[in-house]
Amino acid sequence: MTTEKPKGPASYFPSNEKKYGRPIAEWQALVRKHYPAKHMELVAMLKTDHAMGHGHANAIVAQTLAEDKRG
């Protein structure tokens, strides 16, 4: 039995949870509270307010927007 590794934005999630100490669902809820901000505004919020690295912030925002079908 092969365990498939996550691809795309979700590939950042295990290290994100470990490094920033919160489950992805909490980060996604935080992103959603800032709607209708645009993608890069949401990334900037995570970076500025939560000292998150660009790649991790971008992955959370991209995944959240994709799940919610926003641009």
Is the pTM here over 0.75, yes or no?
A: yes
In a domain, 57, yes or no: yes
Q: What is the pLDDT of residue 38?
A: 97
In the predicted model, is pLDDT for residue 1 greater than 70? no
Quote the number of domains for the chain: 1
In a domain, 43, yes or no: yes
The whole-chain average pLDDT of the chain stands at 91
Task: Residue 53: name the closest of 19, 11, 21, 9 by CA.
Answer: 19
In a domain, 45, yes or no: yes
Whole domain around residue 49: which residue ranges? Answer: 22-68
% of residues, the chain, pLDDT over 90: 73
In a domain, 11, yes or no: no
In a domain, 7, yes or no: no
Cβ–Cβ contacts within 10 Å for residue 39, how many? Answer: 15
The answer, yes or no, to whether the previous bond of 36 is cis (omega within 30 of 0) is: yes
32-62 pLDDT per residue, tens:
999 999 999 999 999 999 999 999 999 999 9
Q: What is the pLDDT of residue 7?
A: 81
